[in-house]
Amino acid sequence: MKPVLETLVDRGHQVTVLIPSTSLFMNSSEPSRFQYEPFNVSVTQDFLERFVEEFLHFNMYEMDFINPVQIYMKFIDLMKQNMQTTLKFLDGVVKSERIMKKLREAKYDLLFADPIYAGSDLTADMLGIPIVYSLRFSMVNNWERMCGQLPAPPSFVPGAMSKLTDKMDFSERLWNALFYAFNDFVLEQVMWKEVDKYYSDIRGTPTSACKMMGNADIWLLRTYWDFDFPRPFLPNFKFVGGIHCRPAKPLPEKIERFVQSSGDAGIVVFSLGSMVRNLTTEKANTIASALSQIPQKVLWRYSGKKPDTLGSNTKLYDWIPQNDLLGHPKTRAFITHGGANGVFEAIYHGIPMVGIPTFADQPDNMVHMAAKGAAVNVDFNFMTTEALRDAINTVINDKSYKENAMHLSRIHHDRPMSPRDEAVFWIEFTMRNKGAKHLRVQAHELTWYQYHSLDVLSFLLTVALLFIVILIKICSLCFKRCCGSKTTKTKAE
């Protein structure tokens, strides 16, 4: 979201960022072109770090070795913990008289928020201002479908995190429908009931949090058709994937020297993202051994213990200029965990990928890239040295992967305006028009049976059945009269 805020500042807007007193990624003391408004939360830094560690460990090292029932039990437990944390964060804003007073007095024109944490819609409602969402996706697209009314036929729209594509056979369509239904039920029980109660207590009247979320003026979805599969959308849903992407800048001198030393073989860029800082010794050695067997030089973002099997062609870095490396002419492949930001940077620069997804949206993201022919995926827990080495060699030596990556890159760039400019346009559009309710579909005002035209279908079926009954009665009466009079006449003769 930061590039969008910086662009808004470039265009003369005053931007204020609400920042919690406890945060893993935000720092109000950093130099910034926008203003920070800190608010206090009753959550410690240690708690957040432990929760993230538990979440990562479950996804990376436990999930593949337990049954589906155990997975969902643990998943539900983590969701409940996250929900309680979310509401404590929200307390720091809507239950703070000081913060709400300052926000009201400032007379803001719009609230821009990622709804991954609940409460931005409630805050906007209390301030009486429009709201624009920035969202990658929700589990099974629950928020987009149930609250935003975005159509999602399960026959060809795979539920988010289902690891399915838009080309499904019967068994996959069955699983997709069940995946939607089951996760909708889980979210209703674990999330929506809690948020409904919280919103109702704050507003003093029974409130549907999902309906309030549906009041959002514009939904900016951080995806695009180079990344996602075609699907129906609505006028107030805009697809702006790749907001953060930009042309590559020159590399730092030391990194450039190492890159140039690769010769014609080129380099491989490797990162498992900012959240995975180290691995088990066994896993790190497996990866390092595979990297040592390829001719390319490798730049690996890794802050754990140096693997014993690390080859002379591989250098470890606490941080790498990922976007600039991906845009370098010597880059041949990107080994990635499949985070959306990294995948979009690879698409932007036309770099084929080797996916080692670990959690959240990453498996889904890499399924999309593999389906589009721009990636080969390996399983994190069951990966062998040979499997990873062969995957890297495949995406580099099989020209189709580079061609497909370049095709996706051309799609990404072939747009009326950049995704960042489009995001900013719709934010300013919403401010200019005091909201965007004219783009809101009437589906929000319909009940579930009206939305699916079940009342119309019931009426038509009733009329059809009534017509059939009347027709049968008339035919029966005619038959009795005709055949009955003949029978009477025969007897008389």
User: 3-state secondary structure string, 336-382?
Assistant: ECCCHHHHHHHHHHCCCEEECCCCCCHHHHHHHHHHCCCEEECCCCC
Spatial distance between the Cα atoms of 20 and 22, rounded to a whole number of angstroms: 5
Q: Are residues 83 and 119 in contact, defined by beta-carbon separation less than 8 angstroms?
A: no
pLDDT of 59 strictly over 90: no
Spatial distance between the Cα atoms of 80 and 258, rounded to a whole number of angstroms: 47
Give the pLDDT band of residue 488 (cuts 50, 70, 90): low
Spatial distance between the Cα atoms of 273 and 278, rounded to a whole number of angstroms: 10
- Tokens 């979201």 map to which residue? 1
Q: What is the pLDDT of residues 191-200, one digit of tens each?
A: 999 999 999 9
What's domain 2-244+417-445's superfamily in CATH?
A: Glycogen Phosphorylase B; (3.40.50.2000)
Quick check: helix, strand or coil at residue 191? Answer: helix
pLDDT at position 481: 82
Spatial distance between the Cα atoms of 245 and 224, rounded to a whole number of angstroms: 13
Give the pLDDT band of residue 27 (cuts 50, 70, 90): confident
pLDDT of 309 strictly over 80: yes
Task: Name 451's Cβ contacts closer than 8 Å, sequence gap at least 6.
Answer: 443
pLDDT at position 28: 78
The DSSP result for 431-484, as a single string, is: HHTTS-GGG--GGGGS-HHHHTTHHHHHHHHHHHHHHHHHHHHHHHHHHHHHHH
Q: Provide the residue ranges of all domains of the chain, joining segments of one domain with +.
A: 2-244+417-445, 253-413, 451-487
Spatial distance between the Cα atoms of 187 and 139, rounded to a whole number of angstroms: 9
Residue 64 is given by DSSP the state G
Q: Are residues 299 and 315 in contact, defined by beta-carbon separation less than 8 angstroms?
A: yes
- Identity (one letter) of the amino acid at 225? W
Quick check: helix, strand or coil at residue 271? Answer: strand
Distances (CA, A) of 233 to 221, 260, 442: 11, 45, 14
pLDDT at position 479: 84
Structure tokens at 436: 């965007």
Tell me the mean pLDDT in the region 446-475: 93
pLDDT of 285 strictly over 70: yes
Q: Are residues 358 and 59 in contact, defined by beta-carbon separation less than 8 angstroms?
A: yes
Q: Which of 148, 150, 110 is nearest to 132 (CA)?
A: 110
Tell me the mean pLDDT in the region 241-251: 95
Residue 418 is given by DSSP the state -
Domains 2-244+417-445 and 253-413 share a fold: yes
Tell me the mean pLDDT in the region 379-396: 95
- Tokens 């035919």 map to which residue? 475
Give the pLDDT band of residue 493 (cuts 50, 70, 90): low
pLDDT of 491 strictly over 70: no
Q: Comparing 64-78, 125-139, 165-179, 319-333, which segment has the lowest mean pLDDT?
A: 64-78
User: pTM of the prediction?
Assistant: 0.91
- The size of the chain, in residues, is 493
Q: Residue 319 — φ and ψ, nearest 5°? A: -150, 145
Give the pLDDT band of residue 72 (cuts 50, 70, 90): confident
Structure tokens at 432: 């200019």
pLDDT at position 274: 78
Q: Comparing 31-45, 122-136, 165-179, 337-351, which segment has the lowest mean pLDDT?
A: 31-45
From the options 3.10.20.30, 3.40.50.2000, 3.40.50.720, 2.60.40.1180, give the CATH code of 253-413. Answer: 3.40.50.2000
pLDDT at position 328: 97
Tell me the mean pLDDT in the region 41-53: 92
Q: Residue 80 — φ and ψ, nearest 5°? A: -65, -45
Over pLDDT 90: what percentage of the chain?
Answer: 85
pLDDT at position 38: 92
> CA angle, corner 90, sides to 84 and 92, nearest 5?
115
- Mean pLDDT of all residues in the chain? 93
Q: Are residues 52 and 24 in contact, defined by beta-carbon separation less than 8 angstroms?
A: yes
Task: Name 241's Cβ contacts closer than 8 Å, sequence gap at least 6.
Answer: 221, 222, 223, 224, 226, 227, 228, 340, 344, 419
pLDDT of 141 strictly over 80: yes
Q: Which of 341, 300, 345 is nearest to 318 (CA)?
A: 300
pLDDT at position 60: 85
pLDDT of 414 strictly over 80: yes
Task: Name 269's Cβ contacts closer than 8 Å, sequence gap at least 6.
Answer: 298, 299, 320, 322, 325, 326, 331, 333, 334, 335, 351
